[in-house]
């Protein structure tokens, strides 16, 4: 008997779940064990669809506003909600993103330890 993923998620009602058996489609091969579902699979169907749409829109909040007919703050709030459900570590990004060497040079330039010309020379 086939069931949709959405039916399963509705049945679970947001409760945590484990996977004990997986069958390869169009095959008699099945694997039994105790498997933890991937984090995205634990989201509600609505949140999964929203995350998929965000990825399909290449992270464009403007496209998400148009697609769902919602405001910028609402898109941000939904994304923040989804991220909080994924238990993903928060990454703090400083003012200089890139390889450590480049960051070091830019920080020295920012502190006045290098002149612009010296920094450009080191970046070569």
Domain count, the chain: 2
Q: Are residues 98 and 115 in the same domain?
A: yes
Q: Which domain holds residue 103?
A: 94-124
pLDDT on residue 42? 83
Q: Are residues 120 and 74 in the same domain?
A: no
The secondary structure of the chain as a DSSP string is: ----HHHHHHHHTT----EEEEE-TTSS-EEEEEEPPPGGGGS-HHHHHHHHHHHHTTT-HHHHHHHHT--HHHHHHHHHHHHHHHTPPP----S--S-HHHHHHHHHHHHTSS-HHHHHHHH-
pLDDT on residue 66? 96
Q: Are residues 56 and 104 in the same domain?
A: no
Q: Are residues 80 and 101 in the same domain?
A: no
In tens digits, the chain (124 residues) has pLDDT values of: 555 667 777 777 777 778 888 889 899 999 999 888 888 888 888 999 999 999 999 999 999 999 999 999 999 999 999 998 887 766 665 555 555 667 788 788 788 888 888 888 887 7
Query: Residue 19 sits in a domain of what CATH number?
Result: 1.10.10
pTM for the model: 0.59
The structure tokens 């995350």 sit at: 51
């Amino acid at each position: 008997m086939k069931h949709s993923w959405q039916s399963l998620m509705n049945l679970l009602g947001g409760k945590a779940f484990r996977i004990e058996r997986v069958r390869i489609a169009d095959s008699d091969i099945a694997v039994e064990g105790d498997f933890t579902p991937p984090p995205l699979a634990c989201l509600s169907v609505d949140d999964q669809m929203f995350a998929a749409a965000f990825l399909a829109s290449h992270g464009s909040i403007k496209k998400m506003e148009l697609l769902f007919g919602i405001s910028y703050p609402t898109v941000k709030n939904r994304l923040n909600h989804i991220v909080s459900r994924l238990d993903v570590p928060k990454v703090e990004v400083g003012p200089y993103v890139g390889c450590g060497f480049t960051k070091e040079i830019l920080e020295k330039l920012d502190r006045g330890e290098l002149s612009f010309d010296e920094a450009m020379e080191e970046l070569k």
